[in-house]
Amino acid sequence: MCGIVGYLGKSSAANILINGLKRMEYRGYDSAGMAVLNDGIIKTTKKKGKVSELERLVDLSKENSTIGIAHTRWATHGFPNDINAHPHSDQANKITIVHNGIIENYTAIKKKLTLDGYQFKSETDTEVLAVFIGALYERFGDLEYAVRFALSEVDGTFGMLVLSADHPDMLIAARRGSPLLIGIGDDEFVAASDAAAVIQYTKQVIYLNDNEIAIITRDGYHTKTISNEDTISKIEQIEFDLEQIEKGGFEHFMLKEIFEQPETIQNAFRGRLLVDEGDVKLGGLRQIQEQLRSAERIIITACGTSWHAGLVGEYMIEHLANIPVEVEYASEFRYRNPVIKKNDIVLAISQSGETADTMAAVREAKQKGATVLGIVNVVGSSIARYTSAGVYTHAGPEIGVASTKAFTSQLTVLSLIAIMFGRMNTLSKYEGIKIAKELLNIPDKIKKIFESADKIQQIAKQHAKAKNFLYLGRGYNFPVALEGALKLKEISYIHAEGYPAAEMKHGPIALIDENMPVVFIATQDEIYEKIISNIEEVKARKGKIIAIATEGDTRIESVADNVIYIPETLPMLTPILSVIPFQLLAYYTALELDCDIDKPRNLAKSVTVE
């Protein structure tokens, strides 16, 4: 849950490393550090805090090394401070590494090294790995062998880079369970955990596979397994441009990404909707059509915002296809004994395609013989490569830690999958055409919601001092209530809970008083009257009511303190619209409270450790 970057080439390494850290700071920002090699000496600089704190310590005009590694950290082992910041070195300061992941057996390795006389400065598992590699190098005199030997002995996950004072023309990269790619430029290489750090220099990359290392020299690179078997790595192309990871005039990435949603939703269904046939064409699923037609149950597994999308997907698929769907937290799925049958389909959802728990759930499902599909955003990611088939969301890079456009793109893809399964089963061509046509209208309807942004900002200012929020919805909009509460918690640090509206009476109603904002999704559908009754129950207890309602609904204004209108659409597509006001409400609340919106405390964008 950090960002790593390394450089070997002909330019100033320090400049490229600092720039790379800035590009990846959304992945971790407790501390940052950099190591460069000059005249056989490794110079390491590291600092608690954001990359800007590190940059103040480095005089880039005087740095002329052409090889180095760097890291921005999200703490797992040890408090965020200067000592625990990466890079970490061995006892002789001959070998320095940066590392993402967790070494699970580091305590046993550390104990053995301590008995052998080695000492440690930090609380981290990464330093233990660095010292271990250094001890092996001291013993065998072969850096590559020392790295491979050490990695064969450790349990856990790693994406790592190794810099050696004795090898001024070499970097070693290794990966198991934590993403790592190598950008191939003109007589230069940029290795990183995220394509954002590479794209300014090259779009040609190779993605390391699990248990694979790369030996990078000024003449080229060579990949092999940790057990020393040569491998062939395919050069792939990064699909996004540098402009997509810039703010483009917006104050925050999150706001930019909210306003990109009309385009990203269109990208998610472009070329896939067969409107005249009331059907869809999903090329990534073409080769498993037989298994899809035979599906007797679908299990959706995901974490966080993706799990909320999965809940909406459950409603969609069951409604259109009459196939039973279960939605599982990936973190729980992997640690029990899930019952998976021959004709089950397991659908894993992850924005990054690297979420550790979701990846573990994918492995568990495959081991039990399921057909496993992926819905991911990042091309070349672990889940995209490991699943049997899948669908990309095409949302483009999402930099804001609080997911926005990825969520609505996932909902869009899930609606396509629901139509696909529906047409294989009970959905008529007429109904399929109706849904497809309405999906085409969703981007313009989101633009209409943006016209209420100023009003939503005023509502946020009015309630920003509240200590608690309650979000309530029913049917398709219950998962959106969960997502709205999560967004507020993530970036404003206000406690918020999402519930099915009818469940309010079974406990949460005890919390409601004149200081409690209660946010309802009260769109006009078959359960509208039920929602109105729930609103009346809150109103009777003096709760402050914010309602998301359908355009033209004047009745809602008599019971709600504030109303935010969204255009009318089909019930199954309502979540794509109703979540937009929640994203803006969370954003403007955090803005009012002067929070660090793009990099909220304690959070990282891609959760690649348990």
Domain CATH for 474: 3.40.50.10490
Structure tokens of 540?
């009777």
On the question of pLDDT at 610 being above 60, the answer is no
Measured CA to CA, the distance from residue 271 to residue 262 in angstroms comes to 16
184 touches 205 (CB < 8 A) = yes
Kindly state whether residue 165 falls inside one of the protein's structural domains.
yes
Stronger pLDDT, 572 or 382, i.e. the higher one: 572
Separation of alpha carbons 478 and 487, rounded Å: 15
**Catalytic site residue 2?**
yes
Structurally, the chain folds into a number of domains equal to 3
Q: Rounded to 5, what percent of the chain is helix, strand, coil?
A: 40, 25, 35
Question: Are 55 and 107 a contacting pair, CB within 8 Å?
Answer: no
Confidence of residue 609 (pLDDT cuts 50, 70, 90): low
**pLDDT above 90 for 29:** no
Return the closest-CA partner of residue 178 out of 9, 35, 356: 356
Note whether 146 and 264 are same-domain residues: no
| pLDDT exceeds cutoff 60 at 156 | yes
- Could you tell me whether strands 41-48 and 88-89 are parallel, antiparallel, or unpaired per DSSP bridges? unpaired
77 near 123, Cβ under 8 Å?
yes
- Sole residue written with tokens 């937009």: 580
Residue 55: CB partners within 8 Å, gap ≥ 6? 18
Catalytic, 605? Answer yes
* pTM, to two decimals: 0.84
The yes-or-no verdict on residue 388 having pLDDT over 70 is: yes
Is 54 a member of any domain?
yes
Rg (CA), the chain: 25
Which is catalytic among the residues 46, 110, 256, 605?
605
Please say which residue of 448, 473, 502 terminates a domain.
Answer: 448
Rounded distance between C-alpha atoms, residue 380 and residue 151, angstroms: 23
Q: Are 241 and 195 in contact (CB under 8 A)?
A: no
- Residue 29: CB atoms within 10 A of its CB come to 28
Residues 247 and 333 in one domain: yes
What's the confidence (pLDDT) of residue 508? 81
User: Domain range for residue 98?
Assistant: 3-238
Is residue 467 domain-shared with residue 534, that is, in the same domain?
A: yes
Mark whether 496 and 568 lie in a shared domain: yes
CA distance 262 to 264: 6
Distance CA 235, CA 204 (A): 6
Q: Examine the pLDDT at 174 and tell me if it is beyond 90.
A: yes
Q: Which of 386, 493, 404, 505 is nearest to 450 (CA)?
A: 404
pLDDT at 28: 64
Q: How confident is the model at residue 75 (pLDDT cuts 50, 70, 90)?
A: confident
428 and 509: one domain? no
Contact 36, 13 (CB under 8 A): yes
pLDDT at 283: 92
Within a domain: 423? yes
Catalytic residue chosen out of the listed positions 2, 50, 203, 256: 2
In degrees, to the nearest 5, what angle opens at C-alpha 550 toward C-alphas 260 and 433? 70
Asked if residue 411 and residue 385 are part of one domain, the reply reads yes
Q: Which of 191, 217, 238 is the last residue of a domain?
A: 238
